[in-house]
Every structure is written in C-alpha cells, then in structure tokens.
Amino acid sequence: MVLLRGGRVLDPSTNLDQVGDVLLREGRIEHAGASLGEVRRDGDLIEIDCTGRVVSPGFVDVHCHLREPGREDVETIATGARAAAAGGFTAVCAMPNTDPVTDNQAAVGFIIRQAQRADAARVYPIGAISLGQKGEALAEFGEMIGAGAVAVSDDGKPVASAQLMRSALEYARAFNIPVADHCEEPTLAHGGAMNEGLVSARLGLKGIPAEAEEIMAIRDILLARRTGGHVHLCHMSTKGSVELIRWGKDRGIRVTAEVCPHHISLTEDAVEGYNTNAKMNPPLRTAEDVAALQEAVKDGTIDLVATDHAPHHYDEKEREFADAPNGIVGLETALAVLVTHLVEPGIIGYGTLVDRMSCTPARTFNLPGGTLRKGSVADVTVFDPLRRWTVEPSAFLTKGRNSPYAGMQLTGRAACTIVGGRIVYRQSE
Amino acid sequence: MSAAPIGKDLLGLEHLSADQIRLILDTAEPFKEISLRAIKKVPTLRGMTIVNLFFEASTRTRISFEFAEKRLSADTVNVASSGSSVSKGETLVDTARNLEAMKIDMVVMRHGASGAAKFLADRIRSNVINAGDGTHEHPTQGLLDILTLRDRWGSLEGRRVCICGDVLHSRVARSNIWGLRKLGAEVAVCGPRSLLPNAIDELGVTVFGRIEEAIEWAEALNILRLQLERMQAGYIPSLREYNRVFGVTRERLERSPRDLVIMHPGPMNRGVEIDSDVADGPHSVILDQVTNGVAVRMAVLYLLAGGRPEVAEAAKG
C-alpha cells in the first residue's frame, strides 16, 4: 500500500482538484480525494508526505525513441524507461524506427519483455505502418496489436505515399488504433537542416519550410475524413498546422495531434552558432509558431504533449550541423519545460498540464492510466511544481546528453513516480 | 604575440565591425606592392606553420591563399580531402585534434558544410580562416570584392551594388551583403526567386526580380556563377533560358544610365550568367579582384598573427 498524504490531488479526468490523500492498494487506485485520516494498515504501508506537491495521474508519453534493438549504445529500453520514470512518466510509447524495424509481432514481443525486465515506466511498443518503414507494403497490424502494440507509425520518416496512408487508416479501423504520422512532405523538406527563414538565410543552411509539414497534415486530415480512421499527427511545429487541425476537428474528423515541449518553448534562434543540440525534425520554428502552439495546447486543438525523446551519442552531435542527426532528449525535462513556459506565464494551469501530459494521451492511445478513478491502475506522478533546478545533462538517467536546455534553470520536477502501485522513482530531497 | 585586432579567427563578415573590415582593407593596401616586386617575399610570418585544409575542390582560392602565405614566408602544408583521412571516415573534430597536436599556427579551411569553420575554430587554439563554408560565408572573397570596389570608388558610402544570380547557394553573396552594408553601401540581389533565400529581404537588401531593373539601379554588378546542378535540381528550367532572362549581356548593359562596374568571383560560365564581351569588356574588374585576393589574404594572415597595420607598412621595407 502507498498512501500519498496531503498533496494537491489533481485529476482532470474526474474533475478532481483538492488537497487530500491518494491511497493505492494492490496496484489499483483505492482512493483519491479527501483526507483519509487514520488508515488501517494491512501489510506494508508506505506513507509519503506530499505537502506542497501535486499528485496526479502518471504522465504518459505517446512518442519516444528508445533505440533498442540496434543502438543500445545510445539508449536501451531499460535506461529509457528509467529516464521516463525520472521525468514523471509512468508509461511511454516506443517508436518503431529501431534496427531492425519493429514491424512484426516478434519485435513487439521483444520490446515488451525488455520493458518487463527494466521494471520502471511501462513501455508500449508502436508498430511500423510499413514493412521496414520503407513506405511500400503494410506491416501486419493485427499480429502486432495482438502482441501488444498500441498504435502504428513510420515515425522518423513520413508516409510519402498517400495511397499507403489511406490503406493504413482504413485497415487500422478494425483495431481501433491511431495511425501516427510524421508529417513531412519529403521533396520539400529534402536536405533541410532547420526552419526556413531569416536564420537559415543568414547561416547558409537549407531550410525546411512550414509547408512541408502542413501539406502532409492536411493530406492526413483529408484521408482521415475519407476513411473514418484515426490519424494522430506527431510533433506539430507550425501555426499553419494548428489552423488545419482546428479545421479538421471542427468538421468532426478523427484527428488528434501532439506537440513537443521544445516546439512550445524554443525558437529557431536556438540554432545560432550551429548548435546541433537544437537540431531536430521538425525544426524549431518562429516565435509566432510557438505562440500559436501554446494557444493550441490551451484550447485543446493540440490534444497532448509528447516528448519525441531522441537520444544520440555525444559524438554524433559533435559535428557539422547539416550532417548531425536530428533530435534531443526530452523525458527528464518535459514537465519542467511545460511548467516554466506554459504554467508560470499563466497560459495554462496545472489542471490543463496534467490533462495534456496524462489524461488525454492515455485516452487517445487507449492506454490504462491517465486517471485517478477508483479501481484504475495505480500509475501516479507526484511532482513539485515550484522546484527550481538547473538542467545538467550529465545527471540524466537517459544515456543521451543532447539537450538544448543544458544549463538552463527550469521550474517543476517529478518527486515520485509510481507504476502499478510500486514506487519506481523518487527524487532525492 | 598580442591579441589579433580582428579576433582569433576570420569566420565571416557578419560579426566583424566596419572598423575591423576597414582595418583589413587598409592593411591589404601596402601588401599589394609586395606582389609587384621582383622578389615577392617578406619575412613577416617566418617560422609560422599554416595548413590549407580543403575539403572541397578549389583552385583559385587555394592558390591565392598559398601565394599569400608564401609571400609572407610561412611554412605551408596543403591537405585535400581526397587524400586525407576524412575520406576514410575521420570526423572533423578528430582532424582538428590531430592538427592541434602537430602544433600548427593557422588553418585555412574550405568545407562543404555551413558552420564548419566555426566548428573547427571552437575546438582548436590555432587561428582559423574560413575559405568558404557550405553556403554560409566566404569572407576573404567578400573582402577582396569590397577592396576592388573601394579602389574604384574611394568609398563605399551610398554606392549601389547588386549581387546577381544564385544567391541561395552562394557563400560569396552573404559575405558581400554583410561587408558592403557595414561600409555604407546599398545592396540588392537579383535572380529567379527559386535561387534567392526566402527571407533575403530581411537582411536589408533590395530584391529585383528582373535583371533590367537591377542594371538600371546599380553602380556595380557582382555576378555569381550559375551551377549546372541547380538546373538539374529543378531550380531553373535551363541554362539557356537563364541566359536569356537573367544573363548580363552587352545589350542589357548598354541600357544602363551609367558605366557599371562588372565583377565575378569566378569561375565564370561564359554565355550563361555573363557574356564574354561583358567579362572581357572595359568595365570588368574581374582580374583586379584576383590580384586583390592575394593582398587581402596576406592582410588577414598578418592580422590574425597579431600584426598591426603600421608594422605591415614597415614590412614593405
């Protein structure tokens, strides 16, 4: 049993927001809300004082890269799952762009077994849309889902073929899973290393225009309308994409979308000096895009926040900008970036933060968790909303060190992460 | 050795002040004379070791730097990518560490990646001179272009220079834009929109879509090379059409209200961006640019080595 005492119990899924207690028993939520007073002890009772902290459903990241199999030198499922727990995530979805690609039931099963061994945050595999992520033939969705995959995606690459995307959306309907797409029109983005605009013009770097994302976003939305499938748009980065998603939602199309913490906190200016730790795909955009994305998180046009955690070995980033790989680590900074850039400036409250990091991701990907409702799995995050800390990548639990937030002071930190009633992470005082 | 008045490295003109640019140009003036002597050599950089590291093919820039180095009596080593460990997969950072371990003094680097010169400069103690990084900057080319115009006009203040052609892929264009504007010139660019960076007007330049407009406005045209591969990549329909629509021809020049100064950083595609009778015509300063290139590079090498302009003057003797 775990008793979380005296915290601000915050669960948008049940409209709960009060100072009180949360009791976890046998891996389930037994109580969330009013103070319990004396609790009958049967067996071990771990009591945690949560005064001044927020107790919420565990965060769920529907988009991360754990690199195993293939690049265990960069990250393993175990190190990724531990990093997730340290960031307050009780569950993460692992993208299939591993080596070999997670495009069959055996590969899905391998990830699940590795995650069980890791014994940290839950890890849910996402299967590939196409065999080998080649964009040619559909992978076996049914078998992968049967083995434990929760969605399909060719993330890391766009689905260039509109016909294949249509088929994926149609075929996925039988399993009621989202088809998550990396929206990037490949001919327009080809060779691009950063956002196309003033900074790319100055630095002499080939730019990726906003339209490369937006063209694919509207294609996917229209295909979702045609097929009735659920399209989930990954890592949205532009104001135009927000407008297109809003258009789709207004018409009842099954489109959901995510944004990454970096796209709502940093601009293309972070690339100055050819900073490869600010190189990612989609690239960091303009202040206008950042403001539109923040507003979209607030009003729900963007459903949820996902990290796109993408660790790389330090020497892979230690090279010429155009040749450096895309991506940054994000599991351990996501909460703090959101608190610092969305909550502290008053754009959203903690309730919306918890909804976008926990309730809605779980609901969108049909995952357990994302709620403190009685009887639900006891996946809980306790976080200190006022904790100021300086990002020090060498202290990360992920193997990756590639963070554009290195050295920055941020606010908000996971204090305790509980998965299935078991404490998998506690921040030292 | 005292700190160099233009900083440790020369990576571009964007971050130099107008005074620093003037200092380089002023320093280049006395060095011009050395190239006119029977014995074209002064002992100024004797004992210094300079590595010319060219990861991309280059003839004129590499030779120009080599002449500048030899005329200042530096010891030089030339490394080309095809014969280097880079072709075996060595990273730029490892190359840099090895060079540093060999206790060199300066590196002149040409590299296909924008930002490569800064990357190197941030990691080694030696002075780094950017001899062209990707589509970013080519500062010594910009400086020699500016020196050539200053020779002609005395001052750049209020003068109008138009850079014509493939600005999108040009490192020369950016260095020209920064340098010319800092010295008070008005700068325009002209070319098909598919070969101009999307946000180019935000750099403070006028944009002309038609070469006739540029010719009417400008006092000097700096004509950039059209690269064959750009046509294949779908940026323009054909080199032939480019010449017909954007080429600088004698007929077009004759419609200019003034005697335009004609520049080209080379190598030229005669009959594409520039016609032969323009390139070889009376207003062309293209060979003056080449001559000035050696003097400018001598000045940069000298200043980075910690030299002062008054000493450069004395070095003549």
CB contact under 8 A, B93 and A204: no
Distance CA A83, CA A68 (A): 14
Q: Which of B89, B74, B147 is nearest to B304 (CA)?
A: B74
Q: How far is A45 from chain B (nearest CA, A)?
A: 55
Q: Is B110 on the interface with A (CB under 8 A)?
A: no
Residue A234 reports pLDDT greater than 50 = yes
Q: What percent of chain B has pLDDT over 90?
A: 80
**Does the structure show a pLDDT above 60 at B310?**
no
- Chain segment A390-407, per-residue pLDDT in tens: 999 999 999 999 999 999
* A244-285 pLDDT, tens digit each: 999 999 999 999 999 999 999 999 999 999 999 999 999 999
Burial class of residue B3 in the structure, from the number of CB atoms within 10 Å of its CB (0-12 exposed, 13-18 middle, 19+ buried)? exposed
Nearest CA in chain A to B93: A319
Per cent of chain A over pLDDT 90 is: 97
Whether residues B116 and A320 touch (CB distance < 8 A) is answered with yes
Residue A91: strand, helix, or coil:
strand
Q: What is the mean pLDDT of residues B4-8?
A: 88
Contact A200/B202, CB-based, under 8 Å?
A: no
Q: Is the pLDDT of residue B88 over 70?
A: no
What is the average pLDDT across A368-384? 98
pLDDT (tens digit, 9 = 90+) per residue, A211-225? Answer: 999 999 999 999 999
| pLDDT at residue B227 greater than cutoff 90 | no
The arithmetic mean of pLDDT across residues A88-96, rounded, is 98
Q: For the residues A147-172, what does the mean pLDDT come to?
A: 98
* Interface probe, candidates B90, B110, B114, B177, chain A, greatest A C-beta count within 10 A: B114
CA distance B137 to B118: 11
Q: Once rounded to an integer, what is the mean pLDDT over residues B218-243?
A: 89
Q: How far apart are CA A285 and CA A288, in angstroms?
A: 8
Return the SS3 of A22. Answer: strand
- Tokens 């531990």 sit on residue: A82
The residue-averaged pLDDT of A237-245 equals 98
Distance in Å, alpha carbon of A188 to nearest chain B alpha carbon: 12
Q: What is the pLDDT of residue B1?
A: 43
The stretch A102-108 carries a mean pLDDT of 98
Q: Give B 189-228 residues with CB within 8 A of chain A.
A: 197-200, 202-203
Choose among A204, A318, A319: nearest Cβ to B114. A204
List CB contacts of B72: < 8 A, sequence separation 6 or more. B41, B42, B44, B45, B298, B301, B302
Cβ contacts (< 8 Å) between B200 and chain A: which residues? 201
pLDDT of A50 > 90? The answer is yes
pLDDT, tens only, A315-338: 999 999 999 999 999 999 999 999
The answer on pLDDT for B192 being more than 80 is yes
Average pLDDT value for residue range B11-18: 97
Longest pairwise C-alpha distance within chain B: 58
The structure tokens 């297109």 sit at: A244
- Please enumerate residues of A whose Cβ is less than 8 A from a Cβ of B: 196-198, 200-207, 209, 273-274, 315, 318-323
Nearest to B206 by CA among B160, B171, B252: B160
pLDDT band at B100 (very low <50, low <70, confident <90, very high): confident
Round to whole Å and give the CA distance between B191 and B210. Answer: 7
B137 in A contact zone (CB under 8 Å): yes
Residue B230 has pLDDT above 80, yes or no: no
**Average confidence score pLDDT of chain B:** 92
Q: Residue window 225-264, chain B: list those with CB within 8 Å of chain A.
A: none
- Interatomic CA distance for residues A203 and A275, integer angstroms: 11
- Residue A290: per-residue pLDDT: 98
Say if residues B54 and B131 touch (Cβ distance below 8 Å).
yes
Determine the pLDDT at residue A117. 96
Contact list in A for residue B203 (CB cut-off 8 A) is: 198, 201-202
Locate the chain B residue with the closest alpha carbon to A193: B114
Provide, as residue numbers in chain A, all residues whose Cβ is less than 8 Å from the Cβ of B137: 204
Share of chain B above pLDDT 70, in %: 93
Q: What is the pLDDT of residue A37?
A: 87
Is the pLDDT confidence value at A359 over 90?
yes
Is B134 an 8 Å CB contact of chain A? Answer: yes
What is d(CA A211, CA A215) in angstroms, rounded to the nearest whole number?
6
Distance from the Cα of A230 to chain B's closest Cα (Å) equals: 35
pLDDT for the residue numbered B263: 98
Nearest chain B residue to A190 by CA distance is: B233
- Beta strands A231-233; A255-259: pairing state: parallel
Between B239 and A249, where is the model more confident?
A249
Q: Does residue B312 surpass a pLDDT of 60?
A: no
Residue A428: pLDDT band by 50, 70, 90 thresholds?
Answer: confident
Give A349's pLDDT tier (boundaries 50, 70, 90).
Answer: very high
pLDDT for the residue numbered B92: 87
Q: Please list the active-site residues of A.
A: 308
pLDDT at B2: 46
- Asked if residue B245 has pLDDT above 70, the reply is yes
pTM of the predicted model as reported, rounded to 2 decimal places: 0.93
A322 CA: distance to closest CA in chain B (Å): 7
**Helix or strand run (H / E) with residue B106:** strand B106-111
Cα–Cα dist A3/B288, whole Å: 83
CB contact under 8 A, A201 and B118: no
- Given a contact cutoff of 8 angstroms between Cβ atoms, the answer to whether A195 and A208 are in contact is yes
Q: What pLDDT band is residue A57 in, cutting at 50, 70 and 90?
A: very high
Cβ–Cβ < 8 Å for B296, B274: no
- Residues of chain A neighbouring B116 (CB-CB closer than 8 A): 320
CA distance A148 to A145: 5
Mean pLDDT (chain A, rounded)? 97
Closest Cα of chain B to A409: distance in Å?
25
Residues of B whose CB is below 8 A from A203: 114-115, 136
Contacts of residue A200 in chain B, CB cutoff 8 Å?
197-199
Please check the confidence at residue A132 and state whether its pLDDT lies above 80: yes
Nearest beta carbon to residue B134 from set A204, A209, A315: A204
Residue with tokens 């991701």: A361
Residue A208 Cα, gap to closest chain B Cα (Å): 11
Total CB pairs under 8 A between chain A and B: 69
- Write down the pLDDT at residue A365: 98
